[in-house]
């Protein structure tokens, strides 16, 4: 059976354990043992000190109480040292004074009081609230006893004077500071299981050590004054010290608030700097990225290309390739479905391309529907060709745009670093040239750059210069190809076709120089020249052959003419100046050109139609015009492309297309003109299909002014003349025109 003492022991242990857990939940064994030791030692010191002080003469009690109260109150208002976590309680001066006047017991009590108030203010933990006063009391009692012993020794050896007192007081203060700090930091060190470090010790408490020394000095001076002049001086000194400390307190607070303002300013400046950096980053993004697709833009691509060129210069084994992509039907999609759909298409194709290039490749949108890819570290050309093929394959897959299924394809031009490029512009120029070569091959093709493309481009450039000069130096002329009504056969109009007599190259066809003129902007003066010349010629013929006054003139116009806002005015001015009926002029636009510029062309077409000018779709069947456009556009005639007419015999399919166009024309109320009739069989076939009008080498080749005049003269002469006389007249015509004149003779 357990003894009563053992039971009480267990209960006591149990209560102690609970107390321990409540007071020191995060203390380890060593730290707890130390804490308890210090608290008990402190309690013993305080008990001893109280006993000792109670034995002092009663007239000194008020001094003890006054100094104790001041010290304790000062503990409640510490001086916070700016830019440091430490504070200094001015009460130390009075505690040191108590030490000098009444010994370590009185000072230990005052220290404990000041520490109790201080820790109560700064900590909510009872562990601190109990340990701080205990440690302060122990430290003060030990250091104070040491000072008293030292002073007694010095006095006994007759070595004591005022200077010694001041020095000893300061040494004491430092000792006290070291004791107190050591006792306090030891708890933390024990909790962390580490040795106290001198650097941390000095770093965190050094400043306070000096204030302690200063306080001790003041206290020693006060004590000396008290010894010489009595208590009155002390009473006077208290408010002076209080004032001094108050001033210091406010000075420190002011400094703190200045610091806070400064810090706030610095923080604001820092925030501003962050904002500016962010802004700069955004600007940089805008400068280097395409806003629609977020891909790199031309600037960024050029920089990457420059880097690739530099890399290759440093290490010639680092080859790169550049691809230039252009979508084949983008304009058409953009114009017919709207710009929103165009943007959607660009975004989707950009994403598709991105999925098939390597992360290290640079994909950029250069503008419009043009993209470029830079691939570095390529081992052979086949790799790049394979990538181009793969891209064409994925780009051909249908896309859902604006709720419609759209198919598109890309033409790709490729160039390689082997050509010894020096600038990014050279690389892009050649990739672009290769892309044009790919486009010329048809849709969805790719082409590799080779130096012959360069030659072609240079030639084109020189041709462009020549064309500019041709306009002013009389190298251009017009030929006129007759257009006939087929049954009964009757000349109804001429089509004006442009010719260029190049001084070195000889005759250059419009198929070569019209695209050049369109690209270089020369098309406008060129069209102006053709319009004036053709109308003037028609007016001259009308004057010369009044019976031919119903003969009209067809003129080819480019999509750029139809896009120009001044074009219809120019046409009406020319017609008015020559007093020509607008219905005598028909403007032809190819189906492809019309589809490319549908939005702008439609406005000009309406204006021209309002004038009374005829409109015809040239090369019909080669483009993509839809039925809805045809019925909506104010056009008068469709010209069936030569390619269908020439294959009329060979292909049943072509024959069906021609039949369909003729039927379409009839149902929409448009004239249908078959182009490029070269054989009697084709003509017969067209007549069978009830094609209304025709044009072609069989009927008449393009004629010079003189030849056309002779033709008109012939027709004019034979109209109203009996057939044999007409035959006679026709026989007088030059050989080349006789056949055409005969064709016009009544067929009966």
Task: Write out the residues near ligand C2E by the rule CB under 6 A.
Answer: 481, 497-498, 509-511, 514, 530, 556-558, 588, 590, 618-619, 642, 675-678, 695-697, 702
* Interaction between residue 619 and Mg ion (CB under 5 A): yes
Least separation in angstroms between residue 531's CB and ligand C2E is 9
DSSP string, 100-152: HHH-HHHHHHHHHHHHHHHHHHH---HHHHHHHHHHHHHHHHHHHHHHHHHHH
Least separation in angstroms between residue 644's CB and Mg ion is 11
Q: Which is nearer to Mg ion, 116 or 589 (CB)?
A: 589
SS (H, E, C) 39-64: HHHHHHHHHHHHHHHHCCCHHHHHHH
Q: Which is nearer to ligand C2E, 330 or 562 (CB)?
A: 562
Sheet-wide strand order for 362-367: 362-367, 370-376, 320-327, 410-416, 446-448
Q: Which is nearer to ligand C2E, 191 or 499 (CB)?
A: 499
Give residue 500's region: left, alpha or beta (phi > 0; psi -120 to 50): beta
> How do the residues of the chain divide into helix, strand and coil, expressed in percent and rounded to 5?
65, 15, 20
What is the distance between the alpha carbons of residues 638 and 629, in angstroms, rounded to a whole number?
13
CB 411 within 8 A of CB 326: yes
Least separation in angstroms between residue 675's CB and ligand C2E is 6
CA 510 to each of CA 499, 517, 640: distance values in angstroms, whole numbers, following the listed order: 7, 10, 19
CB 46 within 8 A of CB 108: yes
Select the span of 263-271, 432-440, 618-626, 689-697 touching Mg ion (CB under 5 A): 618-626
Least separation in angstroms between residue 332's CB and ligand C2E is 19
Q: Which is nearer to Mg ion, 424 or 676 (CB)?
A: 676
Least separation in angstroms between residue 537's CB and ligand C2E is 13
290 binds, among ligand C2E, Mg ion, none (CB under 5 to 8 A by kind): none
697 binds, among Mg ion, ligand C2E, none (CB under 5 to 8 A by kind): ligand C2E
Q: Which is nearer to ligand C2E, 81 or 705 (CB)?
A: 705
80's enclosing H/E stretch is: strand 79-80
What is the distance between the alpha carbons of residues 219 and 309, in angstroms, rounded to a whole number?
81
Phi, psi of 251 (to 5 degrees): -60, -45
What is the distance between the alpha carbons of residues 117 and 131, in angstroms, rounded to a whole number?
12
Q: Which of 618, 699, 700, 714 binds Mg ion (CB under 5 A)?
A: 618
Q: Which of 481, 556, 604, 671 binds Mg ion (CB under 5 A)?
A: 556
696 binds, among ligand C2E, Mg ion, none (CB under 5 to 8 A by kind): ligand C2E
What is the distance between the alpha carbons of residues 286 and 300, in angstroms, rounded to a whole number?
10
Phi, psi of 629 (to 5 degrees): -65, -45
Q: Which is nearer to ligand C2E, 335 or 619 (CB)?
A: 619
Least separation in angstroms between residue 589's CB and ligand C2E is 9
676 binds, among Mg ion, ligand C2E, none (CB under 5 to 8 A by kind): ligand C2E
Least separation in angstroms between residue 566's CB and ligand C2E is 16
Q: Which is nearer to ligand C2E, 673 or 726 (CB)?
A: 673
511 binds, among ligand C2E, Mg ion, none (CB under 5 to 8 A by kind): ligand C2E
- Could you give the 3-state DSSP secondary structure of residue 442? coil
CA 7 to chain CA centroid, nearest Å: 80
- Could you give the 3-state DSSP secondary structure of residue 407? coil
* Interaction between residue 335 and Mg ion (CB under 5 A): no
Q: Which is nearer to ligand C2E, 365 or 639 (CB)?
A: 639
Cβ neighbours for 741, distance < 8 A, ≥ 6 positions apart: 711, 714, 715, 718, 729, 730, 733
Q: Which is nearer to Mg ion, 335 or 675 (CB)?
A: 675
Q: Which is nearer to ligand C2E, 683 or 741 (CB)?
A: 683
Select the span of 270-278, 287-295, 556-564, 607-615 touching Mg ion (CB under 5 A): 556-564
Enumerate the H helices of 587-722 as residue ranges.
591-596, 598-611, 627-632, 642-646, 652-668, 680-688, 705-718
Q: Which is nearer to ligand C2E, 166 or 689 (CB)?
A: 689
Least separation in angstroms between residue 278's CB and ligand C2E is 53
* Interaction between residue 588 and Mg ion (CB under 5 A): yes
* Interaction between residue 369 and Mg ion (CB under 5 A): no
Least separation in angstroms between residue 282's CB and ligand C2E is 47
Least separation in angstroms between residue 665's CB and Mg ion is 15
Task: Supply the Cα-derived Rg of the chain in whole angstroms.
Answer: 54
- Site residues (vs Mg ion, CB under 5 A): 556, 588, 618-619, 675
């Amino acid at each position: 059976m357990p003894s009563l003492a053992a039971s009480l022991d267990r209960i006591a242990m149990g209560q102690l354990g609970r107390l321990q857990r409540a007071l020191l939940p995060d203390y380890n064994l060593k730290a707890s043992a130390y804490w308890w030791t210090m608290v008990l030692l402190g309690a013993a010191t305080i008990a001893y000190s109280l006993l000792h002080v109670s034995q002092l003469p009663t007239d000194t009690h008020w001094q003890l109480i006054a100094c104790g109260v001041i010290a304790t109150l000062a503990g409640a208002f510490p001086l916070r040292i700016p830019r440091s976590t430490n504070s200094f309680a001015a009460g130390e001066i009075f505690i040191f004074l108590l030490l000098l006047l009444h010994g370590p017991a009185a000072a230990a009590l005052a220290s404990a009081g000041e520490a109790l108030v201080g820790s109560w203010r700064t900590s909510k933990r009872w562990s601190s609230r109990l340990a701080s006063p205990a440690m302060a009391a122990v430290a003060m009692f030990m250091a104070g006893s040491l000072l008293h012993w030292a002073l007694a020794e010095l006095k006994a050896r007759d070595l004591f004077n005022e200077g010694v007192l001041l020095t000893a007081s300061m040494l004491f203060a430092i000792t006290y500071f070291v004791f107190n700090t050591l006792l306090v930091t030891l708890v933390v060190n024990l909790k962390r299981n580490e040795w106290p470090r001198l650097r941390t010790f000095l770093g965190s408490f050094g400043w306070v050590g000096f204030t302690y020394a200063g306080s001790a000095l003041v206290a020693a001076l006060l004590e000396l004054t008290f010894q010489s002049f009595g208590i009155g001086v002390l009473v006077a000194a208290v408010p002076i010290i209080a004032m001094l400390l108050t001033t210091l307190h406010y000075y420190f607070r002011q400094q703190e608030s200045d610091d806070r303002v400064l810090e706030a300013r610095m923080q604001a400046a820092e925030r501003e700097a962050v904002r500016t950096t962010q802004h700069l980053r955004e600007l940089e993004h805008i400068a280097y990225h395409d806003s629609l697709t977020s891909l790199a833009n031309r600037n960024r691509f050029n920089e990457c290309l420059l880097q690739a060129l530099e890399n290759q210069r440093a290490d010639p084994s680092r080859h790169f390739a550049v691809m230039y992509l252009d979508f084949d039907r983008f304009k058409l999609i953009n114009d017919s479905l709207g710009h929103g759909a165009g943007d959607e298409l660009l975004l989707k194709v950009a994403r598709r391309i991105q999925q098939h290039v390597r992360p290290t490749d640079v994909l950029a949108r250069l503008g419009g529907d043009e993209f470029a890819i830079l691939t570095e570290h390529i081992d052979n050309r086949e790799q790049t060709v394979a990538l181009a093929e793969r891209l064409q394959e994925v780009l051909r897959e249908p896309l859902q745009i604006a709720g419609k299924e759209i198919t598109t394809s890309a033409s790709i031009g490729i160039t390689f670093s082997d050509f010894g490029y020096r600038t990014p512009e050279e690389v892009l120029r050649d990739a672009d040239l290769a892309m044009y070569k790919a486009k010329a091959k048809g849709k969805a093709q790719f082409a590799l750059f080779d130096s012959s493309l360069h030659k072609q481009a240079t030639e084109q450039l020189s041709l462009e210069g020549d064309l500019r000069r041709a306009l002013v130096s009389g190298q251009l002329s017009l030929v006129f190809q007759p257009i006939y009504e087929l049954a009964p056969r009757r000349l109804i109009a001429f089509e004006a076709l442009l010719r260029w007599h190049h001084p070195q190259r000889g005759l250059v066809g419009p198929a070569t120089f019209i695209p050049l003129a369109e690209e270089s902007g020369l098309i406008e003066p060129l069209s102006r020249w053709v319009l004036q010349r053709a109308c003037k010629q028609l007016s001259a013929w009308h004057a010369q052959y009044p019976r031919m006054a119903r003969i009209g003139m067809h003129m080819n116009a480019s999509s750029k003419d139809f896009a120009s806002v001044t074009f219809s005015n120019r046409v009406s001015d020319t017609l008015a100046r020559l007093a020509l009926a607008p219905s005598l002029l028909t403007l032809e636009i190819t189906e492809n050109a019309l589809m490319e510029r549908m939005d702008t062309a439609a406005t000009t077409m309406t204006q021209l139609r309002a004038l009374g000018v005829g409109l015809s779709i040239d090369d019909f069947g080669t483009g993509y015009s839809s039925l809805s456009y045809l019925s909506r556009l104010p056009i008068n005639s469709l010209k069936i492309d030569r390619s269908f007419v020439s294959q009329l015999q060979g292909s049943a399919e072509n024959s069906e297309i021609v039949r369909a166009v003729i039927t379409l024309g009839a149902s929409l109320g448009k004239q249908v003109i078959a182009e490029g009739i070269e054989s009697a069989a084709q003509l017969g076939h067209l007549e069978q299909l009830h094609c209304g009008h025709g044009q072609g080498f069989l009927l008449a080749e393009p004629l010079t002014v003189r030849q056309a005049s002779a033709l008109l003269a012939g027709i004019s002469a034979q109209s109203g003349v009996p057939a044999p006389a007409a035959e006679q007249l026709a026989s007088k015509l030059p050989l080349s025109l006789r056949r055409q004149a005969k064709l016009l003779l009544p067929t009966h």
